[in-house]
Amino acid sequence: MEDHLKDAMEIREYAKKNNQMFKESIPLIASENVMSPLAMEMLLTDFGHRYAEGLPHHRYYQGNYYVDLMEDKVNELGKKLFNVPQVDPRPVSGTNANMAVIFGLTKPGENVTAPDLSGGGHISAAKFGALGFRGLNIVNYPFNEDTMSIDPDGAIKVLKEEKPKLALFGQSVFLFPVPLRDMRDAFQEIGCRVWYDAAHVIGLIAGKQFQDPLHEGADVMTGSTHKTLPGPQHGIVLGNTDDETWKKVQRGVFPGVLSNHHLNTMAALGITMAEMIDYGEDYARKTIENAQTLGEELHDLGVDVLGEKLGFTKSHTIIGDVRKYGGGKRVAERLERCGIILNKNLIPVDHNKNSMDPSGIRMGAQEITRIGFEKDDVKKVAELIYRAISKDIPDEEIRKDVMDLKGRFNEVKFCYGKKAPYDYITLFK
C-alpha cells in the first residue's frame, strides 16, 4: 500500500526547502548551531534504534556492549573538556537536564531562587515552567539593567532572607558572567546547593573564554549541547560536588525524568566534545569577538543595544531594544523576510508585557562564527540589519545582498576534516 507515500514525500520536501532556506539566510538565533559532518553522521547510525536504560555496564537491556564503550568515552571526554570529576551525558535536552536537577535536589514546597524572565531567565525556571510544576516556591533575584545581570548585593540579601534549598543561576539572555565568587560566602552560610544553567554559554565555558562555574561555587551545571556547544540537540549535567549530591542528581536523570537517552545524539555529543578539546578555545574566542563587533556596529549605526556600559556582551549574545523601529515582533518578521533569522525577545523594560510582542530582539554570533564569518563580515551583517529595520527598502533588495554575503560561507569550521560541507542539502541528492 502506498496511499500515504505522497504525504511522506511532502515531509521530505519540507526538509529540503528548510535546508535551502537556511543555506540562503544569515542565522543569528542565539540558541542554534550546526554540527560537524562527523557528528552529524552519528545521527544516521544504528545507535538511533536502540535502548540502554541505566548506566554503562549496569543496563536493563542486552546488546549494549558497544553502547557502553561509547558512553564511557563520552564521559571521559566530558570530564576532560570541562575539567570536572562528574559527568552525566544522558539528558535528551537542556530542559530535561534541568528537570533532573530539580527532581534530584528539591522537594515540593521548598524555596528556590532564580533569575526573573524579564531579566533573561529561562522558562523552565518560571512558575509556569519546570520549577513551578515541581511545586517549588520561586523567589527572583534583583536585576541590574546597567550590567544586564543579577545585582550581587541584592541577591545575597535574598539568599539570606529566603534560605533556598537550591540557588539557580543562568539565563536565556546571557550577556555577562554571573558574579558567583561574590556570593560564595552566602552560599556556605545558608548551606544551599548551587545550580548553574549554562545552556547558552556552555560552549564558551568549554572554550575557556567565559567563567568556570564549577570552580567558582556551583555544585552542578546543566546545559543543552546545540547552542554555543555546536553539537546535537541533547543535554548534559556536570558536577563538582560530594558523592551523595551527585547520586541524587543521577537518580533525577534516571529513572527521574527519562528512560532511554537517545544514543545516536550522545555519540554525536561525544564527537563534538572531542572537537571542542582541539578547536574550542579559538572558536569560543572568535564567537565572543564577533558578538562584540555586532553590538558595536549596530550601536554606531543608531540601534539601541543593551549592555553598553560593559561593552555590550562577553558572550555570544546581543540584545537590541527596537521599540523605535516598531518593536521586536515587527523587526524579527521583517528581517526573516529579508533572510536574516533572529528572534523577538523580552527586555528588562517589558515587565508584564506579552512575550509574543516584546520590545527587543536577540541575536547570537555562534553559528555564523562556526561557518567562518570574521569581523568584517559581521560588520556587513550589522549594516544589513540596520538597512532592513530603518529604511524603506524592498525585502527582495536586502535579501539579494544577504544571499550574496552568505553564499561565501559553505563549510563548517573548527572541526575534523579540512573541508566540512555546510550544505546538508546534498544528503538528498
pLDDT at 378 (0 to 100): 98
Q: Is the pLDDT of residue 84 over 90?
A: yes
pLDDT tens digit sequence for 129-182:
778 778 888 888 998 887 788 889 999 999 999 999 999 998 888 999 999 999
Percent of the chain with pLDDT over 70: 95
How far is Cα 400 from Cα 390, in angstroms, rounded to an integer?
18
Residues 6+ apart with CB under 8 A from 8: none
Which domains occur in the chain, in start order? 40-273 (3.40.640.10), 280-428 (3.90.1150.10)
Angle at 107 between CA 101 and CA 109, to 5 degrees: 130
* pLDDT per residue as tens digits for the range 292-327: 999 999 999 999 999 999 999 999 999 999 999 999
**CA diameter of the chain:** 68
Note the pLDDT of residue 263: 98
Q: In this model, does residue 426 exceed pLDDT 60?
A: no
Task: Locate the DSSP E strands across 46-204.
Answer: 54-55, 58-59, 86-88, 111-114, 137-140, 143-144, 149-150, 166-169, 193-197
Determine the average pLDDT of the residues in 283-298: 98
Q: In terms of pLDDT, which residue wins out, 257 or 419?
A: 257
Q: What band does 390 get if pLDDT is binned at 50, 70 and 90?
A: very high
pLDDT > 90 fraction of the chain, expressed in percent and rounded: 83
Q: Is the peptide bond before 255 cis (omega within 30 degrees of 0)?
A: yes
Helix (H) or strand (E) holding 239: strand 235-239
Q: How confident is the model at residue 425 (pLDDT cuts 50, 70, 90)?
A: very low
